[in-house]
Amino acid sequence: MSNYDKIDFKALAESTNEDVITYSRVRDVKLPSGKNFALITLDNDRDHNRPNTLGPATMIQLGEVLDQLKKRAKAGEIAGVGITGKPFILAAGADLSQIQNLKTKDQAKQIAQLGHYVFGKLDDLGVPSFCFINGLALGGGLEIALNSNYRTIDSSAAAIALPEVFLGIIPGWGGAYLLPNLIGIENALKVIIENPLKQNRMLKPADALSLGIADVMFSPARFLEDSLKWADTVISGKVKVKRPNEPGSVEKLAKWDIAINIARKSLEGKIGKVAKSPYAALDLIAASKKGTKAQGFEREDDVLSGTYRG
Amino acid sequence: MSTTADVFFIDGVRTPFGRAGEKGHYWQTRADDLVVKSMIALLERNPEIPKEAFDEVAIAATTQTGDQGLTIGRTAAILAGLPITVPGYAIDRMCAGAMTAVTQTGAGIGFGAYDLVIAGGVEHMGRHPMGEGVDPNPRFLSERIVSQDALQMGKTAERLHDRYPSLTKERADAYALHSQQKATAAYKAGKIQQDMIPVAVKSAEGWGLADNDQFLRPDTTLEGLGELKTPFRVGGKVTAGNSAGLTDGATASILASGDAVKKYGLKPKMRMVQFAFSGVEPEVMGWGPVPATDKALAKAGLTINDIGLFEINEAFAVQVIAFLEHYGIADDDSRVNPWGGAIAIGHPLASSGVRLMSQLARHFEEHPEVRYGITTMCVGLGQGGTVIWENVNYKG
Ligand SMILES: CC(C)(COP(=O)(O)OP(=O)(O)OC[C@H]1O[C@@H](n2cnc3c(N)ncnc32)[C@H](O)[C@@H]1OP(=O)(O)O)[C@@H](O)C(=O)NCCC(=O)NCCS
């Protein structure tokens, strides 16, 4: 298994020279029950016309913030961690302008590893993590949410999607493993492969809710207040979150491979075999029914560096 | 023919009150959002009322431009998710804006025109400093219609000290200290928080949650108060410690007719008995609550001795002790502002009236032996307003 801790991502950050950093700022808020909660705001200090992006320097900072919060959680200072965005925007994913400049396969792999390394921390804080999807969440933006333990969504969020396949890549920061395990095989195929190939169709917040990507939806006027109140009830155990489409072992045994085969045939019929990324995504989704999250993440690393063999 | 309806106060909430300016909770938060969030929380607390049943939304603001303009009662109603069939309007009587929103819509209920209303107010004194954009008619001064001091509230407070020499700075400071102490105790006991709705706020450090009043200073001492500057007059008596600070905040309340109470099974907290507004010389505007209270009591056929609880707005300590002295009530009488007042909590001008009412309603709950209480406040340019309320929990 990859030990992400041992990788030095600094060189990656230096070579990509990210011109707009998205900062991870933390404020403590008091939940209604009196518990202390750390709220991370992602903000690149530009207006909504320049969405938050997640380049290497941004990711390294977020990782450091999460490390500090893990320590604070251990010290009993916080009962939960939330992450949300600047007005109208959670995050629009990796900084694509940079990805196109990547020179080596090594760097591509490191980008994937950095995402897994940092976002993985959201599931290893020692306290529950929440993503409050307050607006646009694309690609890596949505993967922040998928890596969190719980998700709320603003009913006015502009769009929710994993558009990677549309861009010729794959959801490589956990999406290809986490999403099928959250919303089931057929829904995941739709979100990861079908929608991107339909002129990059995106989800509305209500779709994200009914699919089970979001656990609960609130209206925008008091979205953050309501999200914090809800997080409080989850932390205290008053609310038990049920995921409508989370696949059980029966689905994995009976439906998974059939759905994959149908999707593969339909893909071959529609787009032929030249385009690589839809098939790579398909392979990843197929594999996501088995094994650990760490293995899933490693498969994504391999695909992004071009070394994965299904 | 319909008969005069009872007017009930059903519920009231407010935002935490923030310090105006960059250090305040709401520096990056719009004024209309403050009142809209209050209204939404209020509606959520009272789910038995169908939203389309509201007949009116009256929201007060003193400076009605920008995010406090555009007929804020109407815009707030739409933004709070009320059906478009619910109308709304804006009100201004400076500090008594929300109080006037309550009395006007309450009067509409009494007349039989309304069954359910929302009344409240907002003032973002950081975004809209006092006196923003005003253009007083030059006749005020050229014809000496009002003194120059009348336009600056702190100066009117100094003038009140001048007029009644028994109202010393020591008494004002002692009153201010007591207000801080009472508010601190009420906070500790979780009383003030009951009707306060946390507000998500953007700041340079990211999103946070405003859930406290920023003016509260539990560490206040008489010595500390004694050393403060007197910004309104060299060697004066009025200081930042014995006045209400410049505040951002919003309030919202629901009033209902007796019919609506029955129809929707509401639990009223108090009944409006009578109200009155009255004018005084603008340069001693702090005196306003006295004639307003006299007038309201006379109309109600009551006397000051019938009043068991007082919520008086503390724009300035001197204005409160002037009122108390006039009626022979001690400065530290336990019936007066039991949870402290604006000196400790803040005074976002046009929103404060409803805060007084929500708190009086809570005091009534704790004091079933009290039948009547008043909310009263002074108003810029020389006015006072008083509303008399009856305790629905009263057990005689
Ligand atoms: C009185 C007034 C001018 C003061 O404004 P300000 O100077 O911005 O007030 P601040 O909060 O900064 O307080 C001034 C100082 O007093 C100190 N202070 C305030 N309250 C204190 C207290 N209870 N104990 C000790 N010190 C106190 C502050 O710490 C500050 O000290 P600093 O200058 O060393 O920082 C302003 O609050 C005002 O105009 N109030 C009246 C509002 C009004 O007219 N409302 C309408 C009524 S009709």
In a domain, B225, yes or no: no
ipTM > 0.90 for the complex? yes
Which CATH number fits the domain that encloses residue B290?
3.40.47.10
Q: Is B220 in the pocket of ligand 1 (CB under 6 A)?
A: yes
pLDDT of residue B309: 98
Q: Which of B25, B124, B178, B378 is catalytic?
A: B378
Q: What is d(CA B97, CA B153) in angstroms, rounded to the nearest whole number?
A: 16
Q: Is B37 on the interface with A (CB under 8 A)?
A: yes
pLDDT of residue A310: 43
- Which atom belonging to ligand 1 lies closest to the Cα atom of B154? 44
pLDDT of residue B161: 98
Report the domain count for chain B: 1
Q: Whose CA is nearest to atom 10 of ligand 1?
A: B240
Q: Whose CA is nearest to atom 31 of ligand 1?
A: B228
Q: Whose CA is nearest to atom 23 of ligand 1?
A: B241
Active site residue B378: yes
Q: What is d(CA A145, CA A149) in angstroms, rounded to the nearest whole number?
A: 8
Q: What is d(CA A79, CA B238) in angstroms, rounded to the nearest whole number?
A: 45
Q: Is B231 in the pocket of ligand 1 (CB under 6 A)?
A: yes
Which pLDDT band holds residue B289 (cuts at 50, 70, 90)?
A: very high
Give pLDDT tens digits for B61-117: 999 999 999 999 999 999 999 999 999 999 999 999 999 999 999 999 999 999 999
The bridge status of strand B206-210 relative to strand B199-203 is: antiparallel
pLDDT of residue A99: 62
In a domain, B102, yes or no: yes
Q: Which of B25, B124, B128, B347 is catalytic?
A: B347
User: Percentages helix, strand, coil for chain A, rounded to the nearest 5?
Assistant: 50, 15, 35
Mutate to test the pocket of ligand 1, among B230, B239, B319 (most ligand atoms within 8 A of CB): B239
pLDDT of residue B261: 97
Nearest to B209 among A30, A40, A43 (CB): A30
Which residues of A fall within a CB distance of 8 Å from B33? 221
What token pair was written down for A163?
A: 């558009």
B256 backbone dihedrals φ, ψ, rounded to 5°: -145, 155
CB neighbours (10 Å) of residue B342?
A: 29
DSSP A240-301: ----TT---HHIIIIIHHHHHHHHHHHHHHHHTT---HHHHHHHHHHHTTSS-HHHHHHHHH
Of the ranges A93-107, B253-267, B369-383, which one carries the lowest mean pLDDT score? A93-107
Q: Whose CA is nearest to atom 14 of ligand 1?
A: B240
Strand (E) or helix (H) holding A152: strand A150-154
CB contact under 8 A, A27 and B205: yes
Between helix A293-304 and helix A105-120 the angle, nearest 10°, is: 150
Query: Can you give the three-state secondary structure of B268-300, one letter per residue?
Result: CCEEEEEEEEEECCHHHHHHCHHHHHHHHHHHH
CB contact under 8 A, B206 and A30: no
pLDDT of residue B1: 45
Cα(B375) to ligand 1 centroid in Å equals 24
Cα(B231) to ligand 1 centroid in Å equals 9
CB contact under 8 A, A224 and B80: no
pLDDT of residue A93: 84
In a domain, B1, yes or no: no
CB contact under 8 A, B205 and A225: no
pLDDT of residue B366: 98
Burial B89-112 (b: 16+ CB within 10 A, else e): bbbbbbbbbbbbbbbbbbebbbee
Cα(B180) to ligand 1 centroid in Å equals 14
Q: Is B181 in the pocket of ligand 1 (CB under 6 A)?
A: no
In a domain, B189, yes or no: no
Q: What is d(CA A9, CA A64) in angstroms, rounded to the nearest whole number?
A: 12
The bridge status of strand A81-85 relative to strand A36-43 is: parallel
pLDDT of residue B250: 98
Q: What is d(CA B141, CA B137) in angstroms, rounded to the nearest whole number?
A: 8
A216 backbone dihedrals φ, ψ, rounded to 5°: -160, 150
Cα(B29) to ligand 1 centroid in Å equals 22
Range of the domain at B338: 7-127+246-389
How much is the average pLDDT of B217-237?
98
Nearest to A222 among B37, B205, B208 (CB): B37
In a domain, B201, yes or no: no
pTM comes to 0.95
In a domain, B107, yes or no: yes
Q: Is B245 in the pocket of ligand 1 (CB under 6 A)?
A: yes
Q: Which of B95, B124, B128, B178 is catalytic?
A: B95
Q: Please, which residues have CB within 8 angstroms of residue B67's CB and are 6 or more apart in sequence?
A: B30, B31, B32, B33, B124, B127
Helix (H, G, I), strand (E, B) or coil at B71: coil
In a domain, B204, yes or no: no
Spell out the domains of chain A, with CATH numbers in brackets: 1-163+202-244 (3.90.226.10), 166-196+246-303 (no CATH)
Give pLDDT tens digits for B163-178: 999 999 999 999 999 9
Burial of residue B43, with CB atoms counted within 10 A of its CB: 0-12 exposed, 13-18 middle, 19 or more buried: buried
In a domain, B208, yes or no: no
pLDDT of residue A309: 46
Active site residue B124: no
Q: Is B80 on the interface with A (CB under 8 A)?
A: yes
Half-sphere exposure of B22 (CA within 13 A, CB side): 2
CB contact under 8 A, A41 and B206: yes
Average confidence (pLDDT) per 10 residues, chain A, 310 residues: 86 82 97 97 95 95 98 98 98 73 78 96 98 98 98 98 93 97 98 96 98 98 98 98 95 95 96 92 96 96 72
